[in-house]
Structure formats: structure tokens, C-alpha cells
Amino acid sequence: DIKPAVVYDQAGKFDKSFNEGVYNGITRFTKDTGIQVRESEPKNEAQVEQNLRRLAQRGYTPIVAVGFNMASAVSKVAKDFPDIQFSIIDGVIDQPNVQSIVFKEHQGSFLVGVLAAMNSKTDTVGFVGGMDIPLIRKFGCGYEQGVKYVTPNATVIQNMTGSTGAAFNDPTKGSELAKSQFSKGADVVFAAAGGTGIGVYQAAKDEGKLAIGVDSNQNHIQPGTMLTSMVKRVDRAAYKAFEDAQAGDWEPGLEVLGLSEGGVDWALDDYNKGLITADMKAKMEAVKASIVNGDIKVHDYMSDSTCNY
């Protein structure tokens, strides 16, 4: 058996979002295989590297590192432990024992943008990002394209919560930003902001507007006002890393997961099925197919740092 481990980023494994997705993945892995996964939640920069190093020392492999913040620590430790397999989610490191897993968030965001536009009565929708970084702009840009695809003259109000890591964990500000967007006419808001999103969904609930979750399927958080979630299958990524390692198929290098690979998607479940009409569902399936077969090309913000599509 393998001896897998995971290191969450500083938001912690219960952020209801990104880290929690990974957590769900490994719980499933443990349930399916009976193999325990060693978890670690460092609380500061120094501990990230310290914990990675200690896990490596103790022979844990593969070690999944969650989040772009881990990149520099993983790259340092991976150098010192060439025999240990590292998988980093959302970061790219070019080293022989590191697997980099990234997602085509723009495609998933496009999808939920389409759904948002279909549900907006005011033709104004909102986007609340977490930390202002290219990755989050990538979400925003994909979303905007999706909205405009349905309603070309729609307004997309975009706000970022902040410019530091704290922006992923500030529900108060999330709620204020959402309220300010509602007051400007938005009636659907997409939060790509980690824990900050909780405040956004709450505000939507309180004001009777619709919200779109991110990363994990967050539809259950505010049933009735959660239109859908843009799921980014980090759970599947983590699961797959362990599964491959178990089977001896783990390979270093870049892995890009998009719609076609099932890496991103929109969520439809019991919590939001009341909000989704059959028409909408059909349209969503059609758009999805077009993206997969290349008829719709969604621009990736990170490819040129602009949102010109």
C-alpha cells in the first residue's frame, strides 16, 4: 500500500470550498481503499515547508499540496527528496518528481455565466472574487464570457475582496460586496472567493437574490437561493493522484483538467433542481457540448493576462 499525505493551505480543510473539496476526495479514497491519508494543516509560511519536509522524511508519498501558495515550498522540498512524489494543485512546478494539476476554470465559469444570464431579470449580474490574482480573474473572465454569450448587452459587476490571502476568508466583506452589487441591480452573483463566499451566499439569501457557489458543490449551503456551483473537481484530482500512485501509474508533469476531462462542471442536485427549468438544463448541456467540441472557445485570462475575447 501507498502512504499518502495531504497538506492543506492556510484556509484549512473546512473552508467549505477549495480545501474542503480535497478533503472530500481523500475521505472517499479512504472509504474506497481503506488507506489512511495523513493530513496536515500548517498555520504559517514556515510550517508549510516544515510539514512537507517532515512528511517526506517519514516516507509519505505521494504528498498532495493544496493551492498555489505552496509552490515555492514544494519546489524546495521536492528538490531535497527526489524519491518522494509530490502533486500540487493549482500550481505549476517543473521538477521530475512533481505533478502539477491545474484546471480550466474559465470553462466552468463560462457555464455558470450562461446559467446566470438566463436567470437574471435585470440583465445585471455580479462576480465577487477573493484575492485579486490572475487565477481569480480567470474565473471572472470566463463568467463574463458566459453571461455575454446569452445576453450580449448584460452588465457584469466585478469586485475583488482584497489583495492578500485574507481575501479568501472574509465573509463580512463578501456580504458587503454582494449587497453593494445587489443595490446596483445585480440579481445573480457568482462568488469565487473561498470562505468569503459564505458571506456572499448569506447576503443573497437575506435579500432574496441568487448566488453561485464555487470549487465544491456548495448548493446545500443556502438551499433555494443557490442557483448552482461551479465545481472544480479538486476532490477527483486528489483521489486520482492517490489512485494512480496505488496502481503505480502516477506520473510527474503537467495535468490540465477541463470540461472534457470532467475537471470542471456545473452542479445540479436536489438543492437547486427547483430553480433549473428543463429549458435551462437543455441549454446548459448544449453549451457544454459546444465547449467540449470546440465550437465555443472560452478565452483563458491567464494565457495573455487580458480578458479580450
Partner 1 sequence: MSQAKVPVWVNVGLIPLLNILLAFFVSGLVFLAIGQNPLEAAGYLVYGAFGYDAGIGYTLYYATNLIFTGLAVSIAFKAGLFNIGGEGQAYIGGLGVGLLCLWLDSSMPLIIIAPLAIIGGAVFGAAWAYIPAYLQARRGSHIVITTIMFNFIASSLMVYLMVNWLKEKGMMSPISRTFQESAWLPYLHDVFSPLGLDIGNSPLNLAFILALLGCVVYWGLVWHTRWGYQLRTVGTNPTAARYAGIDNAKVTIWVMLISGAFAGLVGVNEIMGVNHNLLLNFTAGYGFAGIAVALMGRNHPIGIILAAILFGALYQGGAELAFEIPSITPEIVVVIQGLVILFSGALENMFKGKIEGYFLRRAAA
Partner 2 sequence: MFETLILILDATLRVSTPLILAALAGLFSERSGIVDIGLEGKMLGGAFAAAAAAAVFGSAWIGLAFAILASVGLALIHGFACITHRGDHIVSGVAINTIVAGLTVTLGLDWFSQGGQTPALTGDARFTSIVFPFAEQIADVPVIGLIYSELLSGHNILVYMAFVFVPATYWIVFKTRFGLRLRAVGENPHAVDTAGISVALVRYRAVIICGILCGIAGAYLSTAHNAGFLKDMSAGKGYMALAALIFGKWRPVPVLFACLLFGFLDAVAVRLQGVALPGIGEVPVQAIEVLPYVLTVLLLAGFIGKAVGPKAIGKPYVKERA
Site of interaction with partner 2 (CB under 8 A): 12-16, 41, 132, 158-160, 162-163, 169-173, 175-177, 179-180, 183, 195, 198-199, 202, 206, 221
- DSSP-derived letter for residue 268 is -
Q: Any contact of residue 165 with partner 1 (CB under 8 A)?
A: yes
Quote the least distance from Cβ 186 to partner 1, whole Å.
26
Q: Any contact of residue 184 with partner 1 (CB under 8 A)?
A: no
- Rounded CA-CA distance 90/272 in Å is 28
- Rounded CA-CA distance 173/200 in Å is 8
Quote the least distance from Cβ 26 to partner 2, whole Å.
15
Our CB check for partner 2 shows the closer of 27 and 290 to be: 27
Our CB check for partner 1 shows the closer of 91 and 174 to be: 91
Interacting span for partner 1 (CB under 8 A) from 34-42, 114-122, 146-154, 214-222? 34-42
Q: Any contact of residue 44 with partner 1 (CB under 8 A)?
A: yes
Quote the least distance from Cβ 30 to partner 2, whole Å.
16
Positive or negative torsion for Cα 130, 151, 216, 102: negative
| Binder of residue 199, out of partner 2, partner 1, none (CB less than 5 to 8 A by kind) | partner 2
Here the contacts of 281-288 (C-beta below 8 Å, separation 24 or greater) are: 283/114, 283/118, 284/111, 284/114, 284/115, 287/110, 287/111, 287/114, 287/146, 287/149, 288/111, 288/259
Q: Any contact of residue 54 with partner 1 (CB under 8 A)?
A: yes
Interacting span for partner 1 (CB under 8 A) from 15-23, 24-32, 161-169, 212-220? 161-169
Cell numbers of 95, please?
Answer: 521538477
Give 6's strand partners: 39, 64
Which one of residues 32, 59, 94, 163 is an interface residue with partner 1 (CB under 8 A)? 163
| Binder of residue 39, out of partner 1, partner 2, none (CB less than 5 to 8 A by kind) | partner 1
Our CB check for partner 1 shows the closer of 42 and 174 to be: 42
| Binder of residue 69, out of partner 2, partner 1, none (CB less than 5 to 8 A by kind) | partner 1
Using CA atoms of 98, 7, 303, 103 in order, give the dihedral in degrees to the nearest 10. Answer: 90
With b for 16 or more beta-carbon neighbours within 10 A and e for fewer, the 37-62 pattern comes to beebbbeeeebbbebbeebbeeebbb
- Rounded CA-CA distance 2/188 in Å is 45
x/- site string to partner 1, residues 100 to 139, per CB under 8 A?
-------------------------------xxxxx----
Which one of residues 3, 28, 53, 205 is an interface residue with partner 1 (CB under 8 A)? 53
Residue whose C-alpha is closest to residue 90's, from 172, 192, 169: 192
Quote the least distance from Cβ 173 to partner 2, whole Å.
6
Quote the least distance from Cβ 4 to partner 2, whole Å.
20
- Rounded CA-CA distance 87/251 in Å is 9
Q: Is 1 exposed, middle or buried, given 0-12, 13-18 or 19+ CB atoms closer than 10 A?
A: exposed
| Binder of residue 134, out of partner 1, partner 2, none (CB less than 5 to 8 A by kind) | partner 1
Q: Any contact of residue 27 with partner 1 (CB under 8 A)?
A: no
Positive or negative torsion for Cα 174, 6, 87, 1: negative
- Rounded CA-CA distance 70/19 in Å is 13
Instruction: Give contact residues for partner 1 (rule: CB under 8 A).
Output: 39-47, 50-51, 53-54, 68-69, 71-72, 80, 91, 131-135, 163-165
